[in-house]
């Protein structure tokens, strides 16, 4: 790993929170992700199962976590399972964790090698009444590949058909949505790396630069600061390409007079930052660009003012839509007749703002959390309104990350330049 060691208390706290939600005399089993092939004998870069990482801090493949708080043998109440280090394999693929190293990372004292776990696990299963198995229940999931979690669940049900099975995902969706202060510290590090990178870009960008050159600078700056790399595919969209929400080609020239929308964020310690800024390629907003930008910034500030504990994302989005309707009329995008005749299921403002305003953020960019229940203190959200005008070949989006507290919310990106004046001043330097 490139990042500095994280505080093992993060994962100790997370396991404690999960165990408190388990039924009496139950066992929970978590598996690492698969190593996935690309072509020939190559593999994609390994990405750990987010739930397993959240509970252990372990990034290594072929790992397992077994939680059995009512185990009669006290030393096996929590067990971390790792592949046994092999000298020959390490010559090819590098160092594998030793038991003491894994304990230092995770806070788990009992480490068992994968090749000896089956004989130990079977009696624990026999003693337990309920088995918690994991699954990916992110609402945005679109992957139909039968990954290890689902294969393991099928195998367990065939081997132990009379047990009571529960979904750990129902617990994890609640728990992972609420970030501890220690988790937010790691997220803040990812955000600070992103902040430094954005300030560097303000000095780098000028007419004639290519979108991919900007993307290369982002990657370079992330790695220089111990980030793992981008938390997601960076969007570097100049001119009319900014209206494509997930534009990832990043292969065109940034021209004088255009705005460039940049949506990027660092990953640090497997936690994500998610920033969007829209800036003038030549360092100076035109009058119209400034008008639309400030309208978007107004929506951003308005959304931040109402994103508090107790409101649901559905109600929050509707309120931001009401404000967008007013603002879009002021800047000449909507007429009274557009608003009067709008379809309640496809409101008039949606022509210029056609995506959600916020999503959960954490280990995953689109992290686990509710979209229907009231927002709770501890959640971390993006706030990212946008204005996309086909007739003017313009797209603007502004995005910061907010930690919800009992007293409102805390802007984790408050130090990142956001106003027209600050952006222009820094680009002028």
Q: Is 155 in the same domain as 197? A: no
Domain-located, residue 338: yes
Name the pTM for this structure.
0.96
378 φ/ψ sector (left φ>0, alpha ψ -120 to 50, else beta): left
Do 193 and 291 lie in a common domain? yes
10 Å CB burial of residue 91 (0-12, 13-18, 19+) is exposed
CB 391 within 8 A of CB 381: no
Q: CB atoms < 10 A from the CB of 321, how many?
A: 17
State residue 283's pLDDT score.
98
Q: Are residues 243 and 291 in the same domain?
A: yes
With pLDDT > 90 as the criterion, what percentage of the chain qualifies? 95
Identify the domain boundary among 152, 173, 194: 173
Q: CA–CA separation, 116 vs 107, rounded Å?
A: 21
CATH code where residue 250 lies: 3.90.230.10
Which H/E stretch holds residue 353?
Answer: none
Give the model's confidence band at 409: pLDDT under 50 very low, under 70 low, under 90 confident, else very high. Answer: very high
**Statement: residue 257 has pLDDT above 90:** yes
- For 138: left if phi > 0, alpha if psi spans -120 to 50, otherwise beta; the answer is beta
pLDDT band (50, 70, 90) for residue 139: confident
Structural domain boundaries, residue 63: 9-173
Residues 51, 132, single domain; the answer is yes
Residue 141, pLDDT above cutoff 90 = no
pLDDT per position as a tens digit, 100-131? 999 999 999 999 999 999 999 999 999 999 99
Residue 2 lies in a domain: no
Same domain flag for 29 and 65? yes
pLDDT at 142: 77
32 part of a folded domain: yes
* Boundary of a domain, candidates 173, 194, 228: 173
Establish if 4 belongs to a structural domain. Answer: no
Sign, CA dihedral 114-118-124-125, equals: positive
325-361 pLDDT tens trace: 999 999 999 999 999 999 999 999 999 999 999 999 9
**Would you say residue 1 lies in a domain?**
no
Banded model confidence at residue 208, pLDDT cuts 50, 70, 90 = very high
When pLDDT is cut at 50, 70 and 90, the band that residue 372 belongs to is confident
Query: In the predicted model, what is the mean pLDDT of the chain?
Result: 96
- Is position 323 within any domain? yes
Residue 150 and residue 91 in one domain: yes
Instruction: With a cut of 80, say whether residue 143 has pLDDT above it.
Output: no
* 168 and 190 fall within a common domain: no
Q: What percent of the chain has pLDDT over 70?
A: 100
**Any idea what DSSP says for residue 30?**
E
Same domain, 142 and 201: no
So what's the pLDDT on residue 407? 86
Q: pLDDT tier at 171 (50, 70, 90 boundaries)?
A: very high
Q: Each residue of 217-246: pLDDT tens digit? A: 999 999 999 999 999 999 999 999 999 999
> How many domains is the chain built from?
2
For 428, the token pair is 């002028």
- Hey, what are 243's tokens? 């209206």
């Amino acid at each position: 790993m490139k990042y500095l060691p994280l505080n093992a208390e993060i994962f100790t706290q997370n396991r404690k929170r999960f165990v408190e939600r388990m039924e009496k005399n139950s066992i929970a089993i978590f598996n690492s992700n698969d190593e996935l092939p690309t072509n020939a004998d190559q593999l994609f870069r390994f990405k750990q199962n987010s739930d397993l990482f959240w509970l252990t801090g372990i990034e290594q493949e072929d790992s397992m976590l077994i939680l059995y708080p009512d185990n009669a043998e006290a030393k096996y109440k929590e067990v971390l399972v790792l592949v046994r280090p092999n000298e020959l394999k390490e010559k090819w693929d590098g160092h594998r964790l030793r038991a003491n190293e894994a304990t230092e990372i995770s806070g788990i004292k009992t480490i068992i090698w994968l090749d000896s776990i089956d004989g130990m696990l079977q009696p624990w299963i026999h003693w337990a009444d309920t088995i918690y198995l994991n699954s990916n229940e992110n609402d945005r999931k679109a992957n139909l590949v039968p990954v290890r979690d689902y294969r393991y669940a099928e195998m367990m049900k065939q081997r132990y058909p009379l047990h009571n099975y529960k979904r750990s995902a129902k617990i994890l969706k609640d728990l992972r949505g609420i970030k501890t202060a220690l988790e937010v510290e790691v997220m803040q590090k990812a955000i600070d790396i992103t902040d430094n990178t954005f300030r560097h870009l303000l000095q780098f960008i000028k007419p004639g630069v290519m979108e991919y050159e900007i993307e290369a600078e982002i990657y370079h700056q992330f790695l220089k600061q111990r980030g793992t790399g981008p938390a997601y595919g960076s969007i570097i969209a100049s001119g009319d390409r900014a209206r494509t929400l997930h534009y990832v080609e990043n292969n065109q020239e940034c021209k004088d007079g255009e705005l460039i929308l940049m949506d990027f964020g660092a990953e640090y310690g497997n936690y994500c930052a998610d920033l969007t800024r829209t800036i003038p390629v030549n360092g100076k907003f035109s009058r119209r660009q400034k008008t639309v930008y400030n309208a978007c910034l107004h929506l951003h500030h308005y959304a931040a003012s109402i994103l508090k504990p107790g409101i649901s994302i559905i109600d929050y989005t509707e309120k931001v839509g009401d404000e967008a309707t007013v603002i879009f009329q002021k800047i000449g995008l909507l007429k009274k007749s557009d608003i009067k005749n709008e379809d309640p299921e496809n409101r008039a403002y949606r022509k210029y703002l056609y995506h959600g305003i916020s999503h959960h953020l954490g280990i995953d960019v689109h992290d686990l959390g509710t979209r229907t229940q009231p927002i709770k203190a501890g959640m971390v959200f993006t706030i990212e309104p946008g204005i996309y005008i086909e007739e003017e070949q313009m797209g603007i989006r502004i995005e910061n990350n907010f930690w919800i507290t009992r007293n409102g919310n805390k802007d984790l990106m408050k130090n990142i330049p956001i106003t027209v004046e600050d952006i222009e001043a820094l680009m002028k330097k």
